[in-house]
Structure formats: structure tokens, C-alpha cells
Amino acid sequence: MSSLSEFQLLSVLAQEMNMRKASERLFVSQPALSQRLQTIEKDWGTKLFIRSQKGLSLTPAGEHVIDFVNEVLKKQEKVRETIHSLQSGVSGTLKIAVASIVGQNWLPQVLKKFIDKYPQAKISLVTGWSSEILKCLYDDQVHIGIIRGTPDWKGVKVHLFNDPLYLVDREITTPDQVINTDRPFIQFKSDSNYYQEIQDWWMRNFKTSPKRTVVVDQIETCKQMAFNGIGYAILPAITLTKAERDIFKIPLVDENNEPLKRDTWLLGYESAFQLKQVQAFVELIKEHIAESSEE
């Protein structure tokens, strides 16, 4: 089978139909070109060109071979372009596992920017509780994970942002009013230390449990119930970017009168951060956070 360099030689001969002009383009002597053509024709087992004083003409077999040669060279060029884009651009699949609250409220804007900027890249996204995100990382199912809280992680950790916690309600305007209300405290299930932080804050301030509680399985359900006046809830700022105007948002503070906040971290193994799609995503996240802080 002829090599790609021989395919290139045949293509040039078919374009020029002249040994002298072809030899000039290929930077070889006419005798050397003639010898190489004879070797190629022997390899194919047939004459490809007919030589005459007027130049070259293709045989019927030669026409088929040249069609094949040009098709291969065209595919070769496409492959070269793809390889070049892989080396110089961002492509491949970015595999992310994200805490549900981040995936619902913060990540979509970032992914939109990433897709617009790197259209050749693909995204594989998993959402769940922080413990599930960590398991995905440990099992090497994803490149990076984004979790809430304070992670126990030995690999690369990038702090993304923290957001304050608010007591949210349609009626309550100060935290101490929860003691006298008969409306329920709506809570959502969480496997992180979020639930414990809320319990600690509550007992520190009120020394007693809420009169009534309603526990739901999703933070979005909790939010919608509070927004519709069913009860009050404690929610992070990340969920309240589009809060209704008639919703009261009361910031929570710790024992030092500092805002109570939740951290968000990006985690991964060192090897993952060597991938171009991961590097590009992390860089874009940093730009997004910087732009958001300026608004």
C-alpha cells in the first residue's frame, strides 16, 4: 500500500499532468520522479499514467486510484485540523459532579459561558448531595466536584465563594418573632453539616426547639413553601437571587455577631487539573466570580 507521501506525489502528478512541472513542485529530479512513479504503479499492479510528448494522461485504473488518493488526502487534512484544535483549543468532555443547590442556582450561568466560549467541548454533569459528589471523585467518575461546606479532601481544593444565610418569611421581620409564631419552621434534608449549623444557631439563640417543623426532601421545595407563606425557612443567599419583593430576608449571625455563611469549594485530583477542558473551566469560574463581585 502506498504511503501518504506517495499519495501526495500522485495527486500532484494528476494536477499538473506534466513530469517537469510535477518534479518542480515536489522538489525532485525528473528521473527520480519517474522512478518513484514506476515503483508506485508496480505496487498497484497497473499503469496509472500514460506518458507522451504532450505530457501525461490518466488510465481508467489511474482515474480510480486518483479519486481514492484525493479522498484520503482530504480526510488527512481534516484529521490534522482536529489534532491541531485538540492541541491548541479546548475540547473533550468535562465531567463535573455538583451539589444540587449549586447546580440549580449558580452553575447554569457558568456552563452557558463555557459552552459559548468552547463549543467543541462536551459536558457530563451529575448533581446530588455533597457525599455523593465526593464518592464520584473517589471513584474517578468525574474530573472535578463542587460541594458545599468544609470538605475533608486531600487533593486540590479551590474556594469559590461563600454566601450568607437568611431567615426567610412573608411575615416575620426579626429572628425573635419565631418564638411566638404558630407557623411551621420548614427545613430541607441535607447530608452536609448545614443541618447541624442551623441547629446550633437555633439553640444558641432560643434555647428551645421550634413549636412546629415541616421537613421536605429538596431545598427548592422548602423555598417555594416559604415564598408561598406556608411557613418560615433558613436559606442560603445562593437560592434567593430572584426572591420576591414582599419576602423578608433576615441575615443570621454567629456568637461573634458575624454573618453566618456557607462555603462552596471546587475539588479534584492534581491529574485532572492538567486537562485543558478543566483548566479552561476553572479559569472561567474565577472570571465569573470576579465579574459577579463587581456588580
Q: How confident is the model at residue 243 (pLDDT cuts 50, 70, 90)?
A: low
Rounded to an integer, the average pLDDT of 79-96 is: 76
**Nearest CA among 154, 235, 243 for reference residue 197:** 235
Dihedral over Cα of 175, 177, 178, 179: its sign:
positive
Give the distance, in angstroms, between the CA of residue 167 and the centroid of all CA atoms in the same chain. Answer: 33
CATH 3.40.50.2000 at 164-260, yes or no: no
Q: How many CB atoms are located within 10 Å of the residue 65 CB? A: 22
Could you please state the CATH topology (level 3) that the domain comprising 92-161+263-294 is classified under.
D-Maltodextrin-Binding Protein; domain 2 (3.40.190)
Residue range(s) in the chain whose domain bears CATH number 3.40.190.290 = 164-260
Residues 6+ apart with CB under 8 A from 168: 223, 226, 227, 232, 233, 234, 235, 240, 243, 247, 248, 249, 250
Q: Look at domain 4-88 and name its CATH class.
A: mainly alpha
The pTM for the full model equals 0.68
Q: Which residues sit opposite 250 in a β-bridge?
A: 167
Distance CA 36, CA 42 (A): 10
Q: Is 152 left (phi over 0), alpha (psi -120 to 50) or beta?
A: beta
Q: What are the cell numbers at 146? A: 463542587
What's the burial of 97, exposed, middle or buried (CB within 10 Å: 0-12/13-18/19+)? buried
Residue range(s) in the chain whose domain bears CATH number 3.40.190.10 = 92-161+263-294
Q: What is the pLDDT of residues 133-153, one digit of tens each?
A: 999 999 889 999 999 988 889
Distance CA 167, CA 236 (A): 9
Q: Is the pLDDT of residue 86 over 70?
A: no
Q: Is 73 helix (H, G, I), strand (E, B) or coil?
A: helix
Q: What are the cell numbers at 23? A: 518534479
For residue 14, CA distances in Å to 49, 72, 77 come to: 9, 15, 18
- What pLDDT score was predicted for residue 1? 45
Q: Is the pLDDT of residue 29 over 70?
A: yes
- What pLDDT score was predicted for residue 117? 92
Q: Which of 23-27, 74-78, 111-115 has the lowest mean pLDDT?
A: 74-78
Rounded to an integer, the average pLDDT of 249-277 is: 91
Residue range(s) in the chain whose domain bears CATH number 1.10.10.10 = 4-88
- What pLDDT score was predicted for residue 295? 58
